[in-house]
Amino acid sequence: MNVYILDTSALVMGVNPSAIKGETYSVPEVELELPPRSLAALRFATSRDNNVLLVKAPQPSSCEAVWRASLKLGEGPALSKADLQILALGLDLRLTGLNPVIVSDDYAVQNVAGHLGISYTFLAAFGITYEFNWSLYCPACFRRYHHSYLDRKCEVCGTELKRRVLKKYRKVGGLDQVA
């Protein structure tokens, strides 16, 4: 059975959890990313209070698995805490026998979800055609860093590091549409 996990972009884009056929989930961190007193924040709170949107924190082991996968792909720096929790909740729900579908326009979320075998759909963006592995480099002195390097500045010259595609491959699997 498909269940839908809404990230911040889905709520900001106007997705109403009560209009989706099937269960909808989110994580506590998403509420913190929504602008206070916005329509999206009101929609989140109302849906949660009416038990239409189930807000659930993921297991720490799932968060760790998502973090490792995001570092392997070089997406770690691009993912927020809410993004990591959304992906981890997808792993948790899949372990219970459900088919989670993440609703997100965030390409980094889509890339990691595809790598983890979690379905996703998009709203305004077209979704990804390719999945990427990233590397970090210094644009000033051209020193290369492993994608898991967490300091965003070059050790040699102090310049802000940039990301570039190390490997790209065609996305496999189809995309689900929001019901």
Q: pLDDT tens across 121-166, in order? A: 988 655 555 666 777 888 899 888 766 666 678 888 989 888 777 7
Mark whether 41 and 67 lie in a shared domain. Answer: yes
Mark whether 24 and 74 lie in a shared domain. Answer: yes
Mark whether 136 and 122 lie in a shared domain. Answer: no
Number of domains in the chain: 2
Mark whether 147 and 105 lie in a shared domain. Answer: no
Mark whether 62 and 142 lie in a shared domain. Answer: no
Mark whether 113 and 145 lie in a shared domain. Answer: no
DSSP assignments along 53-89, one per residue: EEE-PPPHHHHHHHHHHHHHHT-GGG--HHHHHHHHH
Mark whether 109 and 133 lie in a shared domain. Answer: no
**Entry pTM:** 0.73
Mark whether 105 and 157 lie in a shared domain. Answer: no
Mark whether 96 and 164 lie in a shared domain. Answer: no
Q: pLDDT tens across 77-121, in order? A: 789 999 999 999 999 999 999 999 999 988 899 989 999 999 999
* Number of Cβ atoms within 10 Å of the Cβ of 117: 11
Note down the domain range covering 153: 129-171
Contact 40, 34 (CB under 8 A): yes
The helix/strand/coil state of 178 is coil
Mark whether 13 and 84 lie in a shared domain. Answer: yes
Mark whether 151 and 81 lie in a shared domain. Answer: no
Q: Is 177 a domain residue? A: no
Give residues with Cβ within 8 angstroms of 140, minimum separation 6: 154, 157, 159
Mark whether 86 and 15 lie in a shared domain. Answer: yes
Residue 48 belongs to a domain with what CATH number?
Answer: 3.40.50.1010
